[in-house]
Amino acid sequence: MSKDTTQQIVQALPYAKRWAALSLLCMAQFIVIMDTSIIGVALPAIKTDLGYSQTGLQWIFNAYVIVFGGFLLLGGRLSDLFGSRKIFMWGFAILSGSSLLAGMAWSETALNTGRALQGLGSAFIAPAALTLVLTKFTDPKELSKALGFWGAAAAAGGSAGVFFGGAITQWLSWQWVFLINIPLGLVVLVLSPNLLLKGTTQKGKVDLLGAILATAAIMLTVYAIVSAEGLGWDSIQTLGLLGTAIALFIVFLIVQKNNREPLVPLSIFRVPNLSAGNLVMALMAGAWIPLWFFLNLYLQQVLNYSAFNSGLALLPMTFAIMILMMGVTGKLVAKFGFKAPLIAGFIALTASLVLFSNVPVDGSFIVNVLPASLLGAIGMSLAYIPGTIASMSGAKPQETGLASGLVNTSYQIGSALGLAIIVAIVAAKADVLKTQSVTDLKILNESFRTAFKSAAVVSGVAALVAIFAIKTFR
């Protein structure tokens, strides 16, 4: 038997450690998404200790999400050039070090810097991890099952972060919502060389200027939306920031067009489903992130749940997502393709948000929270994996790192912009209610109802995009 024949047989065999590797990659995905949500319950304690203003608090969330979303494209490109495992491990090294900085933060600037560096580490981890998942499973049925575990880890990380944040803040201290990443990161770094393949490498250059332009444009856009709450949408600062962000984005496109090795080859947007799929993922995040964000606030500020009990209230939704994604979604995709489950998911998510938009001041968990949260879990379970598959369905093998970076970028940008816009809408609604004879509790409750209504509109638009713009290849 020739050497070439032997090599072909070896390459055709499935990777023996693929399921153990998947467990490690799902753990990584869980950590990355958890870091987006775990700080929510800890914000009051952080404000007291470090002297944050009420407005400044949101940058603990935004610093992570913006840098995460802004550098995901760079992470995808680095994964294609230098190998997925190497970039994956570099990402965890950065995440672990920056988590130590955030956990030991002595000032507002130190914590924001730590959070931004956490976002940079996660931007390297996420696209590399998704590429590693896709390349380790060659059988379509196994791949669907693997993506079910992968999606469950992501969705569970977002919801479980709220629960863990409450438990850690109540029983330990807010510092541990960051320090918890260090032992987890060390476990990943120790196991990665043995479980993960190196991945393919390519020759090329890194478009660092493109990454900086993209991140700056996103950051200015989010900052403009956030600051518009106090300054007004027609203020010189708001308009100036938005104008600068648009100018930076135009420069980014020009750089990409004229660069021989751009961060994002604009030709990739001709890939079937890529543009529509990424829009769907952005809208999905723009609906889902406000759902759990404002649901947590409703539980604590209207129903008077403690931080820990609020986290407990979200566990049924978390478990439902994990069970459905691991046991149901993959089978549905294998049987019906990705479009039908995607549409069904958005319909369920929209219905869930409509139910939440009617929560009363004297609501109960059994009647007003549990049914709607489980319906939302069904929607997210059906939509997340098909949306990811749709976004990458037309990409070539050598483009998977870039395509996965785009998917994650769209989701993170959608979460940052969606939450910022809905927060601004809620603040405007609250200002109107304050001029009327309405109690503070009713103002809070009506504000949250407005948030859920707005998120329902976003989810409904996503359903329409999925119906009319996503194509199937079956």
pLDDT in tens, 322-371: 788 777 887 888 888 889 899 999 999 999 999 999 999 988 889 999 99
**Is 2 inside any structural domain?**
no
pLDDT over threshold 80, residue 216 = yes
Do 94 and 143 fall within a single domain? yes
Q: At what angle do helices 43-50 and 108-136 cross, to 10 degrees?
A: 140
Residue 205: which pLDDT band, with cuts at 50, 70 and 90? confident
pLDDT over threshold 50, residue 404 = yes
* Mean per-residue pLDDT, 17-27: 82
* Mean per-residue pLDDT, 407-432: 81
**Is 371 inside any structural domain?**
yes
Do 349 and 454 fall within a single domain? yes
CA 157 to chain centre: 10
In this prediction, residue 286 carries a pLDDT of 92
Query: 262, 280, 301 — which closes off a domain?
Result: 262
Residue 401: which pLDDT band, with cuts at 50, 70 and 90? low
pLDDT over threshold 70, residue 398 = no
* Mean per-residue pLDDT, 381-388: 88
Do 169 and 183 fall within a single domain? yes
Do 188 and 220 fall within a single domain? no
Position with higher pLDDT, 242 vs 264: 242
Residue 3: which pLDDT band, with cuts at 50, 70 and 90? very low
Do 236 and 117 fall within a single domain? no
Query: 262, 279, 305 — which closes off a domain?
Result: 262
Position with higher pLDDT, 57 vs 249: 249
Residue 260: which pLDDT band, with cuts at 50, 70 and 90? confident
* Mean per-residue pLDDT, 147-175: 74
Position with higher pLDDT, 288 vs 268: 288
**Is 9 inside any structural domain?**
no
* Mean per-residue pLDDT, 33-44: 73
**Is 7 inside any structural domain?**
no
Range of 137's domain?
16-203
pLDDT over threshold 60, residue 8 = no
Query: 223, 244, 262 — which closes off a domain?
Result: 262
Instruction: Render pLDDT for 276-315 as a digit per residue (tens, 0 to 9).
Output: 889 999 999 999 988 977 887 788 788 888 767 877 888 8
User: What is the share, in percent, of the chain residues with pLDDT greater than 90?
Assistant: 20
pLDDT over threshold 50, residue 2 = no
In this prediction, residue 200 carries a pLDDT of 67
Tell me if 50 sits within 8 A of 105, measured CB to CB: yes
Residue 184: which pLDDT band, with cuts at 50, 70 and 90? confident
**Is 146 inside any structural domain?**
yes
Do 236 and 275 fall within a single domain? no
Nearest to 31 by CA among 147, 180, 197, 196: 180
* Mean per-residue pLDDT, 68-81: 77
* Mean per-residue pLDDT, 158-175: 75
Do 143 and 223 fall within a single domain? no
pLDDT over threshold 50, residue 100 = yes
Report how many domains make up the chain.
3
**Is 138 inside any structural domain?**
yes
> Which 3-state string (H, E, C) describes 100-115?
HHHHCCCCHHHHHHHH
pLDDT over threshold 90, residue 455 = yes
What is the rounded distance in angstroms from the CA atom of residue 233 to the CA atom of residue 93?
Answer: 40
Q: What is the mean pLDDT of the chain?
A: 81
Do 346 and 470 fall within a single domain? yes
**Is 134 inside any structural domain?**
yes
In this prediction, residue 454 carries a pLDDT of 95
Do 339 and 418 fall within a single domain? yes
Do 231 and 318 fall within a single domain? no
Buried b or exposed e, range 19-42, using 16+ CB within 10 angstroms: bebbebbbbbbbbbbbbbbbbbbb
Q: List the CATH number of the domain containing 408.
A: 1.20.1250.20
User: What is the share, in percent, of the chain residues with pLDDT greater than 70?
Assistant: 88
The length of the chain, given as a count of residues = 474
In this prediction, residue 221 carries a pLDDT of 83
In this prediction, residue 14 carries a pLDDT of 63
* Mean per-residue pLDDT, 109-132: 86
Do 331 and 403 fall within a single domain? yes
**Is 1 inside any structural domain?**
no
Do 30 and 67 fall within a single domain? yes
pLDDT over threshold 50, residue 11 = no
Helices (H), 305-399: 307-313, 315-324, 330-336, 339-356, 370-392
> Which range scores top for mean pLDDT: 87-91, 414-418, 455-459?
455-459
In this prediction, residue 1 carries a pLDDT of 44
Tell me if 334 sits within 8 A of 386, measured CB to CB: no
Residue 199: which pLDDT band, with cuts at 50, 70 and 90? low
